[in-house]
């Protein structure tokens, strides 16, 4: 973990650390480290909110003109194909829910079985790792921006 998160409260630092570890394990395709990190991430309250903000920031950067249907399909296909090589249980539906949630177009009431927090954590780390590979930037800046955005939103609500 970097000093970027030193000022954050303990729960936020835990999310940042677990997300960093999960994404690093996904990039390295280290199944054991991945399982440990996503278990921590799935247990951390509000990790889905943070990961959703990171996904949205990554999508905004990699698709500055917006995300069309073909773009969504391309992101999903790339992520599923890459992850399936070492995580055969990857679920395209969960990845689609993560993308739709990050873009603000997912209605959990319309979904018969919205993904549980452990599935969100497991798939969000894969999606973030995939999107980071496209941008070529480290996760740190996106996490910091996500926490700043969430804090600002909570202050105004």
Residue-wise pLDDT for 97-133, tens only, equals 999 999 888 888 887 788 898 999 999 999 999 999 9
Q: Which residues contact 129 (CB under 8 A, 6 or more apart)?
A: 23, 26, 27
Distance between CA 90 and CA 79 in Å, rounded? 9
- Compute the C-alpha angle 117/37/24, nearest 5°: 115
Q: How many domains does the chain have?
A: 1
Cβ–Cβ under 8 Å, residues 90 and 119: no
- Compute the C-alpha angle 138/94/25, nearest 5°: 35
Q: Which residue has the tokens 């909570």?
A: 154
pLDDT per position as a tens digit, 30-47: 999 999 999 999 999 899
pLDDT per position as a tens digit, 70-96: 999 999 999 999 999 999 999 999 999
Range of the domain at 55: 3-156
């Amino acid at each position: 973990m970097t000093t970027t998160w030193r000022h954050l409260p303990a729960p936020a630092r835990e999310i940042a650390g677990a997300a960093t570890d999960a994404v690093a394990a996904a990039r390295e395709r280290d199944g054991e480290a991945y399982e440990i990190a996503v278990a921590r991430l799935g247990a951390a309250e509000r990790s889905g909110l943070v990961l959703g903000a990171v996904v949205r920031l990554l999508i905004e950067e990699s698709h500055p003109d917006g995300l069309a249907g073909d773009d969504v399909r391309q992101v999903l296909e790339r992520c599923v194909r890459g992850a399936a090589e070492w995580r055969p249980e990857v679920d395209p539906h969960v990845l689609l829910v993560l993308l739709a949630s990050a873009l603000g177009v997912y209605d959990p009431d319309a979904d018969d079985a919205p993904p549980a927090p452990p599935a969100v954590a497991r798939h969000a780390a894969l999606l973030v790792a995939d999107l980071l590979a496209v941008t070529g930037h480290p996760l740190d800046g996106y996490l910091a921006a996500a926490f700043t955005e969430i804090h600002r939103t909570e202050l105004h609500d």
